[in-house]
Structures are given as C-alpha cells and as structure tokens.
Amino acid sequence: MRILILAFIVMSLTSCMSWKTQLSTVSSDVVDEKLIFENEDVKLKYSFWDEGGKLGFTVENKTDGPIFIDWTHCNFIFNGYAYDFYSNEEKVDLRTIGVYNTTSVSSTYSYDLHVTKSKQWSKGTVTKDKESTQIPPNSQIQAKIIGLDFPWLKIENGEIKFPKDNSPLTVRNYLSYSKNSDLTELNYVDNEFWVSSTIQAKGNLADLVINEDQFYNKSEYLDTKKTAIGVGGSAAVVVLFWLMVIATTR
C-alpha cells in the first residue's frame, strides 16, 4: 500500500514538470539578412537552427567552370580554437577544452553544461573522406554540419545581449577554393559570426518562429505553481486511500 501511495505522489510531481526555452540569435558583419555571403565565384548560405546550434552551410559555384574546395586548408574556429574540416574522424569536445569558459567573458552570466541535448550525432564530430570536392558549374554542395553544442545560460526570464567582443560564442568559417584541379592559386573566404542575444521564456518550441540565424536550447524544470496543485491532489488521493483502508478493516 505504501508503494501505491508513493506511486501516486511521483505521478503527480511528474505531471508538474514544464519546459523553459532559450532562443539565441547569431549576428555577422559579412553576410546579408538571409545569411548569404557571395563574391564573383561562390555563394555561401548559412543555417544555425538546431538544438544547441550548428554551423551548416552550402557552397554554390557561380562560375561557368568547376571549382574545387580544398578541405585540407579549410578551418572552423570556435572562440579562437581552430579545427580542420578534413579529418577521417576527429572527436572534438567543445566543453572540456575551454571553448565555453566563463572566466574569459562577462561575469554577468554563467553556464550549465549538464543540460542533455537530443541530437548527439553532430556534436563535436567532424568527418571528411576526401581532401577536396569538385563543384560543377552552376551547382552547389552541402558542407559537413558541425554541432556548436552551445550550453544553457543561467539567466532569468527575459533577454540578455552580447557585444561582439564579449560574446559567449564566436564562430568563423575559413574556406579555401581553387579554379584549378591541382588546387593552385587558392582563394579564401573568411566568415565570422557571434551570438548577439539570448532570450529565455517558459514554453516549448511550438511557440517559436524558426529563423536560420537563431538556435534553441530547452531545459525541464519543476513548476512550483503546478507542484502545489499536484501535491494537493496527491494528498487528497492519499487521504481517500487511507479512509478506504480504514473502512475495509473495520
């Protein structure tokens, strides 16, 4: 009978769990409002929307001849830490190497690195099987998606803004390409982004409008308002249960 009572209480407390969502916005000085960068040769279109954020982009060849991406001379950079795009399998744990380091940025906020995210496949893992990729004329490729693994920020409900020189995350995409198959006469694209704001609100993703320059985090918490109702309901159930027990034993 005690086990049954405990089960009632646990069930009521479980029903009192709710979600908080943080929506972070990414800014840049080098792309337009659609997150597009282009020169006379290539067009890059970016997308950061994912849980914890991602570095995702396509490369379009605007020329009438082939363009070759030299992955051995391409890098992605997190808060000054540079990594190669080309690797058979390179494990990168962004949290343990100090990329998200509260001592290097503003003391007005802190991180919770223990919030579990659902998409484990992309976080900190880079896989490249070829040293270079050919993009035919007037076509495009999807580059490898890199998980940013952005942590949950310990802030109150509302919005916090970050200047470029004091953002919790700056990310750069350093891309090299050539119009020659032997990868001579390399050209470089250097695109930088930073997290410029984070908004925290109660609710779930259904209330969010998806924008490619944003990403989200979510965290479960115990809703005290619902808890009071839930505990009260559990207490009522327990009282009724014991009244039934007493009545049956008489």
Give, for all 250 residues of the chain, the pLDDT tens digit: 555 555 555 455 555 777 788 999 999 999 999 999 999 999 999 999 999 999 999 999 999 999 999 999 999 999 999 998 887 666 676 766 567 765 444 444 555 544 444 443 344 555 545 889 999 999 999 998 898 989 888 887 788 999 999 999 999 999 999 999 999 999 999 999 999 999 987 766 656 667 999 999 988 766 666 555 555 555 555 555 555 556 566 5
Q: How many other C-beta atoms lie within 10 A of the C-beta of residue 52?
A: 22
Query: Within this chain, do residues 86 and 38 fall inside the same structural domain, yes or no?
Result: yes
Q: What are phi and psi of 87, to 5 degrees?
A: -170, 140
Contacts for 120 with CB less than 8 Å, ≥ 6 apart? none
Distances (CA, A) of 90 to 82, 85, 96, 194, 232: 13, 9, 15, 24, 52
Query: Structure tokens of 225?
Result: 């308002």
Q: What pLDDT score was predicted for residue 97?
A: 59
- pTM of the predicted model, to two decimals? 0.75
Query: Within this chain, do residues 134 and 237 fall inside the same structural domain, yes or no?
Result: no
The closest of 50, 1, 47, 45 to 23, measured between CA atoms, is: 50
Q: How many domains does the chain have?
A: 2
The closest of 13, 79, 28, 50 to 189, measured between CA atoms, is: 28
Q: What pLDDT score was predicted for residue 210?
A: 78
Query: Within this chain, do residues 10 and 58 fall inside the same structural domain, yes or no?
Result: no
Query: Structure tokens of 223?
Result: 């809703």
Cα–Cα dist 37/172, whole Å: 13
Query: Within this chain, do residues 135 and 241 fall inside the same structural domain, yes or no?
Result: no
The closest of 50, 19, 56 to 150, measured between CA atoms, is: 50
Q: Between vectors from CA 228 to CA 226 and to CA 232, what angle results, nearest 5°?
A: 115
Query: Within this chain, do residues 38 and 112 fall inside the same structural domain, yes or no?
Result: yes
Residues 76 and 90 sit within 8 Å (Cβ to Cβ): no
Q: What pLDDT score was predicted for residue 195?
A: 97
Radius of gyration, alpha carbons of the chain: 25
Amino acid at 49: W
Q: What pLDDT score was predicted for residue 109?
A: 54
Query: Within this chain, do residues 22 and 122 fall inside the same structural domain, yes or no?
Result: yes
Query: Within this chain, do residues 70 and 158 fall inside the same structural domain, yes or no?
Result: yes
Query: Within this chain, do residues 136 and 236 fall inside the same structural domain, yes or no?
Result: no
Residues 122 and 48 sit within 8 Å (Cβ to Cβ): no
Residues 199 and 16 sit within 8 Å (Cβ to Cβ): no
Query: Within this chain, do residues 11 and 67 fall inside the same structural domain, yes or no?
Result: no
Domain that holds residue 58: 17-222
